[in-house]
Structure 1
């Protein structure tokens, strides 16, 4: 029988939040996540080049030309709202990768559009994918970043915007004498697809895995984080929504203080009773259904749009000076 975890044993989220910052670990995730913001800025700035080029190419009126940027920005706004809920259902890592992949696929489709109507549709869909980078990249980077550095790191994410806008101006202006508008769109996708490939190698957020009851996977990732950052954590606990606590240990060559196997996910206690014998038990009923996740996401969206005089005042005070 394994001993129940004491009150001094940290939770998994506390372990991740208190790890030392390492550029090769959390810093790498910050850079890869920041590239999503860079492409956000690149794509928005690209509209400034596309509007005059496409106006001449398709002989557009002023009203028609306005839709080049409008469709793109509407897609981004919608994507920013929707992708947060999608990430809660399919996971942070999958959403982290899919946002840029959707953007890349529909940007390539837009570059080969046979007519203006098709181009507008593809720009909207590309914007929808790219808009997800805002909530998803913030969430993933934030969940890996130690709390001591989280504020500065998430603020620094916005620093990728001027980088993206500057790259757009430099690259697009350099290519105008070489090719047409299709080329400046396709060149942007080359680094975007490389970023997609790199994102496949990013680990899933252990906090997300724990929240859906996938404790063994969460423990394996936390163990790697502990080892790579040089932390001295040996055990931690997971707490489920019904109050059960799972005692886990990091497989880093240090004996587990609970007296069980040094591999992660060693025992689960409920109501003061110990359950031992299985190294990675999967508690029944812990995996949240897709319907429950969708209801939770829609509930968050409803709360976001509920009227609040204070929130409305702050939002308009930030928006009006930008107009």
Structure 2
């Protein structure tokens, strides 16, 4: 392949302004995260309903949640690897088919065992959506707005987390039987996922994959022309020889940074889970399920949702590395306050402020950047695999946060638990600064020529 033709094709994609295809891709990719988040919230309400209906034990509830997390980790690994081997187009849309099918089947589950099986299918779809949607949006984005666009995709999660309690509240307030309500809650999750199956399956292969992995420069030029309206002359169409594997020193250190920080933020995120339960207990000690649902949604709306959109606005202005490291640091400070000044939990207003600050900086911080950064800091032929590994590490962190830390809380108390989580957040900040390059305003093709991160310079 002629290097100048490759540069010309991808440069045209990098230098174009925001266009309709960018917004179409945001909606197409983001609807999966809307569904993921809706499902994430609604299953908590569903299990609260099913526990008395099906007489579920604590162990059964743990199985229901843990199998979904494990399936999501596996789905991220499999889809990430296959999209590098087979192409982005070949895999895109399969994950939302699994989400839609799993939601419908879950709504029809006749027993606990079948519900677990169908939740595994949903988990596979959720996991697969992480690498596919992030990488595709990143590879379609232009250079100057890539962080903004990828973060907008992930921010659809915030809307899904608001839709979940809204749907639950409406169904519970309608007076319908709980047996019908939980089935509708799960079944409605199929609608947003199914709405983008056609769009995802019709999406063209990304020009970056066509050029740098398949060597199809002519085809890439046609795709870029159809998207941007700019004519690109491709001088050759020979296969590209892909250089280097994931297990090089540079890629391993970056993988440590992306997977490690995602793992740590999902562990630390449990701190806000503990806090939310304390707030609900203090504010509404005798509340019914529907009241708790609405209060949870209000807290999320005020404290977390703005963080997604502030992050999107500033991502290409101040950079991913700064946002991620500062987010981790503020999380450490707020958790440390609860550890060092335990009387805060007896002052609801002050506690609510501390909680809101931590929640805002999780979203305007590592919860959004850990989704973006793995789609940028690896070469095209490794991007899906590396993102899948990073997302799977996050799911393992979520598992530990949800199922191991409650035992720590019970044995060591709230103060010690929050102190531990403050240390986890500090480790996340240090790992970010030591291992990750800044990709703000850079082409994805610059990934191999970036200055070495601190950790790698010391190992060289």
Which one of the candidate residues 58, 70, 80 is aligned to 1:74?
A: 70
Structure 2, unaligned runs of 5 or more: 272-460
Which residue of the partner structure matches residue 215 of structure 2? Answer: 213
For 1:33-44, what aligned pairs fall within 5 Å after superposition? Answer: 33-44=29-40
The question of whether the paired residues in 1 share the 8 Å contact of 2:5 and 2:217 is answered with no
Q: Does 1:139 align with 2:87?
A: no
Which residue of the partner structure matches residue 195 of structure 1? Answer: 196
Q: Does 1:92 align with 2:88?
A: yes
Kindly tell me the number of residue pairs found equivalent between the two proteins: 264
Instruction: Find the aligned partners of 2:184 and 2:269 in 1 and give their Cα distance.
Output: 35
For 1:1-323, what aligned pairs fall within 5 Å after superposition? Answer: 10-22=7-19, 24-176=20-172, 177-178=175-176, 179-210=180-211, 211-227=213-229, 233-235=230-232, 249=233, 265=234, 267-268=235-236, 283=238, 303=252, 316=264, 319-320=267-268, 322-323=270-271
Instruction: Find the aligned partners of 1:5 and 1:305 in 2 and give their Cα distance.
Output: 29
Indicate the RMSD between aligned Cα atoms, in angstroms: 3.4
3-state secondary structure, aligned to 1:100: helix
3-state secondary structure, aligned to 1:203: coil
TM-score normalised by structure 2 residue count: 0.51
Higher strand share: 1
3-state secondary structure, aligned to 1:155: helix
Deviation (angstroms), 1:63? 1.5
Instruction: Find the aligned partners of 2:26 and 2:86 in 1 and give their Cα distance.
Output: 21
The question of whether the paired residues in 2 share the 8 Å contact of 1:47 and 1:68 is answered with no
Instruction: Find the aligned partners of 2:183 and 2:147 in 1 and give their Cα distance.
Output: 39
The question of whether the paired residues in 1 share the 8 Å contact of 2:103 and 2:188 is answered with no
TM-score normalised by structure 1 residue count: 0.71
| CA deviations over 1:216-243 (Å, ceiling 9, x no partner) | 332221111221xxxxx443xxxxxxxx
Deviation (angstroms), 1:307? 6.8
Deviation (angstroms), 1:313? 7.9
3-state secondary structure, aligned to 2:145: helix
> Which has the higher mean CA deviation after the structures are superposed, 196-205 or 83-92?
196-205
